[in-house]
Amino acid sequence: MNAKFLGYILWFFPLCLSMVACKDDKYTVPQPKNELGNDCIKRTLGPNVAGLKIEFAYAMALPATKGKLVSAQVEASIQGDAATYLENKSYYTNGSGEDVGIPIGDPSVNEGAVTKVTFTKDTNAVTLRYYYVIPPAAKGKEVKFTFSAKSSNGETVSYAMGPYTISNMDMVLDLPVKNADACYISIADMAVYNETDAAKNAAKIDLVYLYRSISGISFNHALVSPAADTTYLPGVVLPTGVNRDTKIRKTWNLRDQHLARLQYGIYIDDVDFQQLDMKGSPDYAINLKSEAGAWVETADGKYRAYIYMNKVDDGKKSATISMKRYTLK
Amino acid sequence: MKRYSTMLLLLLITAFGWMGCKKEDIPIDEDGLLITTRAECYVSNFELLGSDFQTVRTKNAVIDTVACTVNVTVFFGTDLKNLFPQFTLVTDAKLDPKITGFTDFSDLANPRTYTVISGNRQVRKTYKVIVTVQPR
């Protein structure tokens, strides 16, 4: 008798399990609120570097029977750069895939940390883009944003975004370097000097750019520390006092989105510089190709940097470089 | 009859459970790798990568399985202190010491040695990696 019951249970149990497994969750269509509502998303990715923009899309709407939108504003916890603005256009995509802007109000006005758009058209629903240009003063700090909208019936809504950490990195794009001309690179100044200027800033010169086409070996485009073995500085006469020993390590396939502006979604962030171990690295990097890069640590240990080769030109013996720099001390 | 079939079913489930948990007596070494019957012991291919994980060889490495040497010529200007060696070994063999990251090959007078251990863990052959820098 017991074995018989056990047998039934044994079959009944998997049956129950399979029924549970197939059960659908109930879903109900959310009911829209009959009032002024808003929503916001952050559109930019990657670290927030001073000088770059953080982009948001702020959507607001209310039922036509309730009134219309009067104004929209954003308050940043740290005042943005003067170029910060809130779009006064609502965009739609036309049949050709182009975004067409329809003005809904006057261009935005910055009053301290507040950026405001006052609506001049009858608008019930709109999405406005907000571009916060990160000021140098925000480096290493956190910034928060409060988006808010006001309607003609007196209603107000707001949406908080953040906090977002602003990177400690500095960035410079598209510095042209040329063999035997503008070839002295200063990490401290994030600049490239010619021989005359290099002599004036001798203590700040960290690397020398050179191009050599030597038969039998692949030298080509190189970034060499002034104190490196002269084998790696063939025919180079350094200005007086240019003698720093910078550590440099070649990399490949590290096309930072900010520096390269290509399709690769790779970003170098503060943490990469913090964790970088340059012990035992050489003081030269030769045969650098287009889209290659190099990690750098200055002789005084004050800066770490990543130099990206945007473009190299064998014929003109020149290159275009971009740089991200992190201050350690 | 029904009683018997239920009991048989239970017995079958128990047997399966017991079989599922049973550990096979397979010989494994200290690294948890399978010890097989293969006695072959050699390096079949060798690669050397730079700090940018690109090859630094000017041509294919010359592997002498009798003299147990790997001769590799690297580009002028290669950073010999940060090289990543990659060995391809015969089936089931393993390498000692293990490659765990960048290795210093800068002492050209004293080439680095790596021991290949056969699949049956009975044969050991020590290979010398001789690095030569491309002359200017």
Q: What is the pLDDT of residues B30-62, one digit of tens each?
A: 999 999 999 999 999 999 999 999 999 999 999
> CA B126 → CA A54, A110, A250, B97, B123, distances in Å?
58, 73, 32, 11, 10
Quote the domain boundaries for residue A276.
Answer: 170-327
Do residues A179 and A307 both lie within one domain? yes
- A321 in the Ramachandran plot: left (φ > 0), alpha (ψ -120 to 50) or beta? beta
For testing contact with chain B, the best of A249, A277, A291 (most B CBs within 10 A): A249
In a domain, A182, yes or no: yes
In a domain, A25, yes or no: no
Q: Where are the alpha helices (DSSP H) in chain A?
A: 2-22, 195-200, 257-260, 270-274
The nearest alpha carbon in chain B to A250 belongs to B52
Least-confidence region, from A48-57, A84-93, B17-26, B79-88: B17-26
Do residues A45 and A175 both lie within one domain? no
Q: Given A96, A131, A165, which residue is the final one in a domain?
A: A165
Counting Cβ atoms within 10 Å, is residue B90 exposed (0-12), middle (13-18) or buried (19+)?
A: middle
For testing contact with chain B, the best of A278, A286, A291 (most B CBs within 10 A): A286
In a domain, A5, yes or no: no
pLDDT at B22 over 60: no
Q: For residue B6, list chain A residues with Cβ-Cβ distance below 8 A.
A: 3-4, 6-7, 10
Do residues A159 and A242 both lie within one domain? no
Do residues A130 and A217 both lie within one domain? no
CATH architecture, domain B43-133: Sandwich (2.60)
Do residues A101 and A56 both lie within one domain? yes
Confidence band, pLDDT 50/70/90 cuts, at residue B9:
confident
Among A253, A266, A262, smallest CA distance to A47 is for: A266
Per-residue pLDDT of chain A (329 residues; tens, 9 = 90+): 566 777 777 777 767 666 666 667 788 888 878 899 999 999 999 999 999 999 999 999 999 999 999 999 999 999 999 999 999 999 989 999 999 999 999 999 999 999 999 999 999 999 999 999 999 999 999 999 999 999 999 999 999 999 999 999 999 999 999 999 999 999 999 999 999 999 999 999 999 999 999 999 999 999 999 999 999 999 999 999 999 999 999 999 999 999 999 999 999 999 999 999 999 999 999 999 999 999 999 999 999 999 999 999 999 999 999 999 999 97
Give the type of residue at B103: T
User: What's the whole-number mean pLDDT along residues B82-109?
Assistant: 96
In a domain, A61, yes or no: yes
Q: Given A149, A165, A181, which residue is the final one in a domain?
A: A165
Do residues A159 and A257 both lie within one domain? no
Among A92, A91, A82, A73, smallest CA distance to A53 is for: A82
Domain count, chain A: 2
pLDDT at B21 over 70: no
Do residues A185 and A157 both lie within one domain? no
Domain boundaries of chain B, sorted by first residue = 43-133
The nearest alpha carbon in chain A to B50 belongs to A250
| CB atoms closer than 10 angstroms to residue A62 | 24
Do residues A159 and A255 both lie within one domain? no
- Residue A214 to residue B75: CA distance in whole angstroms: 13
Tokens standing for residue B56: 């630094």
Q: Given A165, A200, A219, which residue is the final one in a domain?
A: A165
In a domain, A10, yes or no: no
Do residues A132 and A174 both lie within one domain? no
The CATH number of whichever domain residue A75 belongs to comes to 2.60.40.3550
> CA A219 → CA A32, A184, A201, A209, B20, distances in Å?
66, 18, 27, 12, 61
pLDDT at B96 over 80: yes
- Residue A135 to residue A82: CA distance in whole angstroms: 9
Do residues A127 and A94 both lie within one domain? yes
Q: Which residue has the tokens 């910034």?
A: A143
Do residues A77 and A142 both lie within one domain? yes
Q: Which residue has the tokens 């219309």?
A: A68
Do residues A141 and A189 both lie within one domain? no
Residues on A contacting B at a C-beta cutoff of 8 Å = 3-4, 6-7, 10, 214, 216-219, 231-232, 249-253, 280-282, 284, 286-287, 292
In a domain, A244, yes or no: yes
H, E, C per residue of chain B:
CHHHHHHHHHHHHHHHHHHHHCCCCCCECCCCCECCCCCCCCEEEEEEECCCCCECECCCCEEECCCCEEEEEECCCCCCCCEEEEEEECCCCEEECCCCCCECCCCCCCCEEEEEECCCCCCEEEEEEEEEECCC
pLDDT value at position A169?
Answer: 95
- Per DSSP, A202 falls in state G
In a domain, A205, yes or no: yes
- A262 in the Ramachandran plot: left (φ > 0), alpha (ψ -120 to 50) or beta? beta
- Residue A131 to residue A154: CA distance in whole angstroms: 27
CA of B5, closest CA in chain A: separation in Å? 9
Percent of chain B predicted with pLDDT > 70? 91
In a domain, A16, yes or no: no
pLDDT value at position B136?
Answer: 83
With CB atoms and an 8 Å threshold, state whether B5 touches A217. Answer: no
Q: For residue A4, list chain B residues with Cβ-Cβ distance below 8 A.
A: 2-3, 6
